[in-house]
Amino acid sequence: MDQESWQKSEELIYEIEDSLDELLDSPELKELRSKIAELGRQLGERYSVGLNCIVDIMDWEKDQSLQLLNTGISTNDTGDTGRTWNSASFQKYVVNGEIQIVPHDHCPGCWGDWLFKSENTTCPECGIELGKECKILLDTDECPHCEKGKLSMNDTKCDQCGYSIDPKYVVWG
Ligand SMILES: [Zn+2]
Ligand SMILES: [Zn+2]
């Protein structure tokens, strides 16, 4: 989404994430969790049962949708349920001169799935190319790969995970 929409929504997205976490772990859902666990046990080891909470946005003008959050509950091999975590994590890009913010693994241009951008440098859905129409916008020194380590314009290798960012893929904010 564009920068203006992002600024209006960022805080609320993280609040929604917290509320969902609270809800999924709450005593009110105990019965639901135990029924999901029961279903998992009845189906046996071959299957896992999941309950997913997806928050997405739909852009009616471009007719495309984007998943912002995906979290839930799933059964595990101990016959119980655990939380599935897919916490909100977003990346800024510059696409054709405009700042766009989308979750990792998505295309900032068409919102389609685009995984491992530094290896697959062309969006499989719309064909924009990393390093050409699309660049990663880094306005912090946080590593876009592990989000824990640090890297910078002068030292493009992450001090934690060792990920090295190709300067031609990046715009420094
Ligand atoms: Zn695309
Ligand atoms: Zn890193």
Give the model's pLDDT for residue 166.
87
Q: In the numeric block, which tokens belong to residue 136?
A: 């990663």
36 confidence band (pLDDT: 50, 70, 90): very high
For 156, residues 6+ apart whose C-beta sits below 8 A from its C-beta are 164, 165, 166, 167, 170
Residue 164 CA to ligand 2 center (angstroms) comes to 8
Within 10 angstroms of residue 91's Cβ, the number of other Cβ atoms is: 18
Weakest-pLDDT range from 20-24, 83-87, 93-97, 146-150:
83-87
Mean pLDDT of 135-147: 88
Distance from residue 91's CA to the centre of ligand 2 (Å): 14
Whose atoms come closest to the Cα of 148: which ligand?
A: 2
CA of 106 to the centre of ligand 1 (A): 8
Mean pLDDT (the chain) is 92
Tell which residue, 111, 120, 99, 81, has the closest CA to residue 2.
99
Percent of the chain with pLDDT over 90: 76
Please report which ligand is nearest the Cα atom of 113.
1
How far, in Å, is the centroid of ligand 1 from the Cα of 169? 16
Q: What is the pLDDT of residues 69-117, one digit of tens each?
A: 999 999 988 889 999 877 778 999 999 999 999 998 899 999 999 998 8
Band (129; pLDDT cuts 50, 70, 90): very high
How many whole angstroms from 150 Cα to the centroid of ligand 2? 7
Chain Cα centroid distance, residue 167: 23
Ligand 1 centroid, distance to 14 Cα (angstroms): 25
Q: What is the pTM of this model?
A: 0.83
Q: How confident is the model at residue 46 (pLDDT cuts 50, 70, 90)?
A: very high
Q: What is the pLDDT of residues 51-75, one digit of tens each?
A: 999 999 999 998 999 999 999 999 9
Query: Rounded to an integer, what distance in angstroms lies between the CA atom of residue 74 and that of residue 119?
Result: 31
* CA distances (Å), origin 136, targets 42, 74, 107: 47, 33, 11
* Alpha carbon of 131 to ligand 2 centroid (Å): 20
CA of residue 111 relative to chain centroid, distance: 12
